[in-house]
Amino acid sequence: MTEILALRHPLKLGLILIGLALSAAEPLAAQPAPLAAQPAPLATDGGMQISWEVRNRFRLFREERDFTSHVETLRAGSVLASEQALGLQSDGRGWARNTVNRLCIDLAGRVSEPCSRDNVKESYLTPTEHPVTVRLTGAIPVGATCAWSFDEGEGPPRTSTLDCVEPINFRARYGRPTLVNVEVSSGAEAAQRVTGEIMVRDILIAGLGDSIASGEGNPDRPIALSDEGFCFRSYIGGPGQFYRPSRAGYKGGRACEAPETLQVWQRQSALWLNAACHRSLYSYQTRTALGLAARYPHVAVTYLPLACTGATIADGLFGSQRARECLPGKSGASCQTNVNAQLAELREALAAAKKRQPGRHLDLLLLSIGANDINFSGLVADVIVDNSTERTLFRRSGVIGSVDESRAALARELPQSFAKLREALKPLLGGDLSRVLYTSYANPALNNDAPCPGGRAGFDIHPSFNADPARLAGVAGFVQQEFLPQLKNLALCRGGVLCRDPAADRMTFVDAHQAAFGNHGFCARASSDPEFDRACFSPTGDSFDPDIVSAASQPMLCGAGASNYRPYLPRARWIRDANDSYFSAMTYPQGLPAAIQPADVHDATWGIVSAVYGGAVHPSAEGHAAMADAALPAAASVLHLDAADPAEVIQEPLPPPDPAQRSDR
């Protein structure tokens, strides 16, 4: 849910611990029909209709194949069903593992201007045209010939004549209507004319917020695990050493007595849409924007993801923040240690867009923020760190927090910060904060609508972890009864929250997913869970071999190789536990000052960090999909996407041809 178990003050040594043409005279070419959702017709009053759709309309994707795979699976209905289907199709390795390298935003977060989409260079933020497929549908006479004409208001219309069953691909100019005329001829039957209009709406959506907004816990290309063990040291008072699964392809020393540099280790890192922010294509924000594009064939969606794990309103939205980790590379020489403020990044992008297209504006802002502002990570640390040595160390360094401290921040600091944020967002949205879609968190610790029972299950990746039942129940209660209701009050200007103009200052609030999460917390288990999970993640917290000799070659007590773990298979829990975090991401933070980096990769600090720094107690891809299902109808409503299409199709018989005016095409 937040920057789980990462420290908020980087100078403390324990911080890292937990932490988108043809010329006017060219004929239009017939093209194969793409695998896409059925395009909406311009009219459905019987007879023939002109139907059209924007192709590859989620403009973050450079290649249409990546978009059509989502359109196909979304036909089943929900984003959750789509995610589950794609997870199975990829054998749990995830659909984003290759897509992440085919985007209009690079892995450092830079927008490609221009971006080559399906071999055509486009301006990403300010498109001038969109690829469109047009078809004649309805009661088409057998063997009919269609004479098409597309008039954009400048120059001669573009024309083409072909069999009426063939679709036509062309690039429609953005910002102006294209008048479509088709003459349908079939033998001795009277010719018919069908007319209509094509007007693409390009929706600009930005995403801001913290780890829930960024997609933490779901690397686009998860870590590849080795079946062999890797040694970590323990803090004083622990078992001394322990082995956990290593990274596949790692050639350095695996024993604690064989130190190795982080540079060698990082060559086998997980891959993220943005490593510095643990930004992921699986995030609910990305899936909401993608879902809008898939569901509405007459729009294109230009999406700008800016959310960053660990962000608070002060440090992340208004100010810069510490990077999560570095983009993997062979040299490892450079590392982005800080991430620019999200609001500054958004302002810069909008200013650049308006300079090229003065009428360009932000249509929708997706937002989740507030958990780090009340130190939720400190609450998680208090719940799961059980060993007395670590608890003492972490309490002294400020890693472990308390419900009382979070309650005080919820009452004082968060409302003040939220009011400041509200005022900063108004100029970006023309003063209309209803276009801010605030999606709330879900309680991560519920099953059967009751707090998880606690224990080591899902947290035995590190010897010091054990979810204390009493502390867990206290935190779950605080989240459910105080934190989540206050976030709703803040977004909606109610419950004593003062807003300058409540009618204009209310955001659009989304929390419809919370009920479903009541049965899918980190402790949820089912007989339909992946076979590896059922066999190798012990319900009693005994998943790993404590013997340092045998564990060096096989750390799993079940005898199966850790390489069989699949992070993107469907499972009952929609919240990553610490075991999931290690097995999916195994993150070692690099974007930190050299002075506080541990001496080598076997360091005791790395043992804890690797277990939680990649998304423990964060939603899985399924969880994010469920959140997107809740956000989608709200986003469509704010954008008025379900309003009746104003475009009109007129079908009428053609007048008899005038021989004096007739000419061959």
Phi, psi of 377 (to 5 degrees): -60, -35
147, 55, 1, 53: which is closest to 446 by C-alpha? 1
Res. 659 pLDDT band, cuts 50 70 90: very low
Token duo for residue 468: 């204390």
Tell me what the pLDDT averaged over the chain comes to: 88
User: How many CB atoms neighbour CB 77 within 10 A?
Assistant: 10
What whole-number distance in Å separates Cα of residue 547 and Cα of residue 552? Answer: 8
Distances (CA, A) of 309 to 217, 252, 379: 10, 29, 17
Asked whether residue 45 carries a pLDDT value surpassing 90, the answer given is: no
Residue pair 194/136 in contact (Cβ under 8 Å)? The answer is yes
Q: Would you state the pLDDT for residue 596? A: 65
pTM of the predicted protein model: 0.90
pLDDT in tens, 88-131: 999 999 999 999 999 999 999 999 999 999 999 999 999 999 99
For the ranges 199-213, 315-329, 344-358, 383-397, the lowest mean pLDDT is seen at 383-397
Res. 267 pLDDT band, cuts 50 70 90: confident
Q: Taking the alpha carbons of 105, 175, 635, 316 in that order, is the dihedral positive or negative?
A: positive
92, 15, 16, 99: which is closest to 587 by C-alpha? 16
For the ranges 83-87, 566-570, 645-649, the lowest mean pLDDT is seen at 645-649
Res. 84 pLDDT band, cuts 50 70 90: very high
Q: Would you state the pLDDT for residue 22? A: 26
Asked whether residue 623 carries a pLDDT value surpassing 60, the answer given is: yes
For the ranges 326-330, 382-386, 605-609, 656-660, the lowest mean pLDDT is seen at 656-660
205, 109, 125, 210: which is closest to 429 by C-alpha? 205
Q: Would you state the pLDDT for residue 416? A: 96
pLDDT in tens, 330-362: 655 467 789 999 999 999 999 999 999 999 999
Q: Would you state the pLDDT for residue 3? A: 40
Q: Would you state the pLDDT for residue 360? A: 96
Asked whether residue 488 carries a pLDDT value surpassing 50, the answer given is: yes
304, 346, 307: which is closest to 115 by C-alpha? 304
Mean pLDDT of the 128-151 span: 94
Domains observed in the chain: 48-72+101-200 (2.60.40.10)
Name the DSSP class of 479. Answer: I
